[in-house]
Structure 1
Amino acid sequence: LILVENSRMTLTPKGQKYAEKIEPRDPEPKKLDLKLYREIRPKMESLVKYDQLPITIQAAIKKVNFINKRDGLEDRAIACLGDDDWMGIALALTELPERVTVFDLDERVLENEKKVAEKYGLEIEAVRHDFRKPLPKKYRQKYDIFITEPPDTLPGLLLFFSRGLELLKGAGKAGYIGVATYSLSRDKWLEFEKGLLKMGVVITDALHDFEPYEVDGKELEWISGLPKGVNPPKKPWYYATLFRAETTQKAKPLYKGEFKTGIIEEVFITRIKG
């Protein structure tokens, strides 16, 4: 198709015929409608037992745009592992992905996703799943991208990423994981990064404080040692660093079977010392 001569590349006759058959694509894909997303994004009380706290509307849109720029959303199969951020809705609104699947333990999340999808004609599959258990075989190795904002404990972060890895088709696929910037000690940050490398992925991007979380007062329940009389903040103050990791030929999940632990909080509950 291509002829290289004297450091110049030209199309061969066969290449020219092939080029004529290619349909041009819009270099500017449909952008996410901020106003519509703001209107239809569900409002739901965050539950501390699931370590829930959604990122802001602006952060969700910024995240969608970054993923589109980095990996492209068009014709992609994308999985959201936990979705109180409503990323599944944001992704579906672009009309670019081939498939969007949301996995969550909280029935409220799934019901809200289904209602919005039905009302606005969005293609979203909602699946109830406890990530301490292996994902059903029918979903494994079916996705190009996974997105997750896990509980900000070391076991929670590695477990959710490991489950996401089960979903990816093979090498060259991407996992996005948001980690609350100040929830881990430096030693645990190191263990987190070591855990990712042990799973055979390459950390390609780390966007510091990329995602501000919504302010609803619930986040103060994670913090111990605060003096009495501290009022809930009115502006976003809690941020996540967004990591992008890409699979290699050696990629493999860290946890294949059931994650056995007698302490739910070890996986699901973040604690921060004030």
Structure 2
Amino acid sequence: MSTIGIAAENRRIDALLLRALYFGPKSYWELMRAAQAQTHQVLKALQSLLEGELVVYDGDRFVITEAGRQQAETLSLERVAEQRCEACAGRGIVLRPPFDSVLAAFQDIAAMRPKATPDFDQGYVTPETTVRRLALMAQQGDLMGRDILLLGDDDLTSIAAALSGLPRRICVLDVDERIVRFVRDVAQDQGWDHVHAEV
């Protein structure tokens, strides 16, 4: 790609990020989807927006500043609202039984998990995203009566899967001892003898 092409692509990514943030704070993963670009490009754009004080990070979400809001309005970004389906967030999966009740229980448990740490490149997806993944797995026949092995589980897919009552066995392997301990504690509290976690 030419230098002009790279500059145009960078402007496009910046605009997509500002537009997404104009309509409300977003997580890292939400911005990754909004930018429609490679990870390194999105990270570079976020760094630029942070350094330019158009965006701030509050420890959990990215938030547009007043300067960022003015920049977005100068570019008329506020004129194009979010186009994704509100019911499924553009994923094509709407939570129906048993996953609608799984989500309610999972949200309470996930709220108590250890905080994400950059030591293991963690960045949690929302509880809704985790449960939608399970709904997709079930739809594809990959959950009911299955033995599930999770290599890394900072999104606590193991716990959401156990709440569904569908897998036969669940095993988590994770380098983060805090996650392993958390999964074990929840499994013990819930009386799940089919859920195991190891470092």
TM range, smaller chain: 0.3 to 0.5
Larger radius of gyration between Structure 1 and Structure 2:
1
TM value normalised by structure 2: 0.48
Work out which structure has the larger RCO, using CA pairs closer than 8 Å and 6 or more positions apart in sequence. Answer: 1
Q: TM-score, normalised by structure 1?
A: 0.35
